[in-house]
Amino acid sequence: MRTPAKDTAIRSIDTTIVDAPTRRRHRLSNTEVTHQSYVLVRVLLENGVSGIGEASTLGGPRWAEESVESIRATVMTYLAPALRGQSALAFEANAIRMGKAATRNYAAKGAIESALLDAAGKTLGLRASSLLGGAVRERMEVIWALASGDSGQELEEAKEKLRRREHRQFKIKFGFNRPQSDLKRLEALRSGLGNDVRLIVDVNQGWSEAECVRFMPALEELDVALVEQPVSALQLEAMSRVAARTSIPLLVDEAAFTKEEVARAATMGCGSVYSLKLVKSGGLFEMKRAAAVAAAHGLELYGGCLLESSIGAAAHLAAFCTLPKLEWGTEHFGPRILVEDLVTTSIKFDEFEICVPDSAGLGVEVDEDKIRVFARKD
């Protein structure tokens, strides 16, 4: 059944900043968080249907240039006016309009497009994944990050995840300690978890090329499966040299946001795996294009995250489940690190996998009571 264009026209776009507490401290090479901040974007159509999207950051404009404050300002001042009155179903045209209204600002654009997909899916009675090409998988292996810096705590955390059959792959955050200290943490984890557990190391751009030359052999001895972004995102040549020296695949993350940057990093041999993130691509359709460019250059795909709630995770899963291949699964554990998720029913995790929501739109419903509690007071 065709829906009149005027019924799917965008009536309004609103934003709310939310600060949700996490269950434990989460450390990166340049910051640490005990609360995760989001911008929730709500789109209301002329037919009365609303959609929700989420933009995530880590500790302000440290992981990338956007902060929740700048995202909210960009959405309300530049992007929302460019989209009001347009059809929510005109995904590509709306992406072009946002591109003309603001350069980069990928988290802001991605949150709006997610909200539009949610509203469009609800209007048509379709899952967002159907609008993105259709699902080829309904669940995927999910990785858990260990990032407190305390090896004893991390070991107990990992063992509990294994016991509960929630996670059996772990990503260890490096870069906030001296390399020697991080290696001792890794040694303790490998010894305590055994050789059958797959370990990934994320250096978060924390090492120099010289440190990579010195310490990557130790990671090889500890059977690390993958190393994420060991050097600065600006040092593509250095990352290429590191990749050529080690037997461990390198995961390209901050070094490539756009599909053009993906092509350049792949051509330079900066790694053999690419981390997909909505905050890098600026939209789910563009994230799929980035995945296609990466795959065409021979890179395997990894479903990255930025500690999203079930709202942001659902948006990512809607795209991830449509990809022909997702060799490394995903790390969308964000809903589980929050003290309280932001939806009425969190995304389901089962037997080491995360399940794609199966209802219309993104498949999640916002818990308005929790939003009122965690919403930032202006």
> Strand pairing of 349-350 and 353-355?
antiparallel
Instruction: Give the C-alpha separation, 347 to 320, whole Å.
Output: 15
The kind and range of the H/E element at 99 are helix 91-101
Spatial contact of 139 and 355, defined as CB atoms under 8 Å apart: yes
Instruction: Give the C-alpha separation, 313 to 139, whole Å.
Output: 13
Q: One of 122, 331, 353, 370 is an active-site residue; which one?
A: 331
Q: One of 122, 173, 259, 370 is an active-site residue; which one?
A: 173
- Catalytic site residue 331? yes
Where residue 226 falls (left for φ over 0; alpha for ψ -120 to 50; beta otherwise) is beta
Residues with Cβ within 8 Å of 128's Cβ and at least 6 positions away in sequence, in order, are 114, 117, 118, 120, 121, 284, 314, 315, 318, 361, 362, 363
DSSP 290-357: HHHHHHHTT-EEEE--SS--HHHHHHHHHHHTTSS--TT-B---HHHHBSS-SBSSPPPEETTEEEPP
- Catalytic site residue 69? no
Instruction: Give the C-alpha separation, 176 to 174, whole Å.
Output: 6
Give the CA count within 13 Å in the CB-facing half-sphere of 328: 33
- Which residue numbers are catalytic? 173, 331
